[in-house]
Amino acid sequence: MEKVIILRYAEIHLKGKNRGYFERMLSMNLEKSLKGLRHELHRTSGRWLVEKFEEGREGEIAGRVSKVFGVHSYSVGLLTGSELDEIYAAAKLVAPQSGSFKVETHRGYKKYPLTSPEISAAIGGRLLAGNPNLKVDVHAPDSVVYIDVREHGSALVFGEFGAGAGGMPVGSAGKGLLMISGGIDSPVAGYMMAKRGLTVELLHFHSYPYTNDGAKEKVVTLSKLLSPYTQVTRLTTVSVTRIQEEIHAKCANELNVTLLRRFMFRIAERLARERGYQCLITGESLGQVASQTMEGMTSSNAVVTLPVLRPLVGFDKDEIIERAKAIGTYETSILPYEDCCTVFLPEFPATKPKLSFVEEEEGKLDVEKLVCEAMQTAETIAF
């Protein structure tokens, strides 16, 4: 008998001719998540088993694999032989000490001499006889002992289902570049797109020396918090200090943020093209702040041709905060810091910038030169 972790994925996503592709992605991502821990990963009909890990490590392993997108549920269980005595020995360890229970059996191996209900009845009866504090309740039991009889004379016995992260395996839907600030929204946006299968790389703009190293550190921390989900491996930082100074010196004050955004999008697109990323991702939500209006988004979109994904566009701030808390980025996001957007922030930023006015003001700048100079400041941190 051996302790194992059973992982299930939603077959609905994996049917058809792409199934092998998704399964390979998922197994690769599971292997990545288990790096550094002794284990073996085996696929059996419609699920994975993590086996041969060190004793006592199951909590840590379950914690890691449950964050891998594509895993819908997991159970810590026992892998044993399929003789009734062996199943019973495992069931005794899985069964509760008291209260009501039932046994539910699934028979992958159809030639097993007993039917599923017969196995359930036999094991349930023995558990009951062995512990006077138990009683059977097939309709609303406190606990369930699950038995899965498999081919090759083995069986799985387990008691609980834990929720996995859901979604699609990261890497199965292409690659995107997340513009990440130190705020609450962008990490959540990255999480959501990774959950749909995008590989997400990160780009952060800073205005050093107006913003300090604390701001960058914060983004590094956020990136690391996201990485068990997104498997992020790289964060690129780019300075927009020169750009902000130029905008501040030469352009209409109320367009500071609008114009800076357009530069951010241009730089992001250039980096994405250099590295083969297919879309940009932001944490914008319609109407949340002055620059996140239809006009603001139109003005940013006008300078790029890659699709811009804004997964939070229809979310309320409350909903975003709830998600940030659930994925564990909220506490870091609310630490005080200077974002480059708050440096040079005008008192009354334009909420409905007209594209023609934006372009006219931008005409006062050497856009190409500023973008190229900014690209020279790019630094990539690998995790």
Query: How far, in Å, CA of 89 to CA of 99, rounded?
Result: 19
Binding piece for ligand ATP, criterion CB under 6 A, among 8-16, 21-29, 128-136, 334-342 = 334-342
Binding piece for ligand ATP, criterion CB under 6 A, among 81-89, 153-161, 184-192, 350-358 = 184-192
- DSSP H helices in 146-293: 185-195, 213-230, 241-250, 256-275
Whether 164 and 196 have beta carbons less than 8 Å apart is answered as: no
Give the Cβ contact number of residue 326 at 10 Å: 11
Give the footprint of ligand ATP on residues 258-287 (CB under 6 A): 282-284
DSSP 139-189: SS-SEEEEEEE-STTEEEEE---EE---S--TTSS-EEEEE--SSSHHHHH
Q: Tell whether residue 204 is a contact of ligand ATP (CB under 6 A).
A: yes
Residue 325: which H helix or E strand, with range?
Answer: helix 317-327
- Phi and psi at 33, nearest 5°, equal -70, -25
Give the footprint of ligand ATP on residues 17-46 (CB under 6 A): none
**CA 216 to chain CA mean position, Å:** 21
The one among 77, 164, 169, 183 contacting Mg ion by CB under 5 A: 183
The one among 44, 288, 351, 377 contacting ligand ATP by CB under 6 A: 288
Q: Tell whether residue 105 is a contact of ligand ATP (CB under 6 A).
A: no
Q: Tell whether residue 289 is a contact of ligand ATP (CB under 6 A).
A: yes
The helices-and-strands tally (H runs, E runs) of the chain is: 14, 15
Nearer to Mg ion, 9 or 265 (CB): 265
3-state secondary structure of 105: strand
Q: In the bound complex, what is the minimum distance in angstroms from residue 69's beta carbon to ligand ATP?
A: 20
Nearer to ligand ATP, 169 or 187 (CB): 187
Residue 200: which H helix or E strand, with range?
Answer: strand 199-206
Nearer to ligand ATP, 95 or 179 (CB): 179
Q: Tell whether residue 349 is a contact of Mg ion (CB under 5 A).
A: no
Residue nearest to ligand ATP as judged by C-beta position: 183
Q: Tell whether residue 181 is a contact of Mg ion (CB under 5 A).
A: yes
Distances in whole angstroms, Cα of residue 138 to Cα of each of 100, 107, 129, 186, 208: 9, 19, 17, 47, 65
Binding piece for Mg ion, criterion CB under 5 A, among 57-65, 214-222, 246-254, 331-339 = 331-339
Binding site partner of 180, from Mg ion, ligand ATP, none, Cβ cut-off 5-8 A by kind:
ligand ATP
Residues that bind Mg ion in the complex, under the rule CB under 5 A: 181, 183, 339
State the residues that interact with ligand ATP by CB under 6 A.
Answer: 179-181, 183-186, 204-205, 282-284, 288-289, 291-292, 339-341
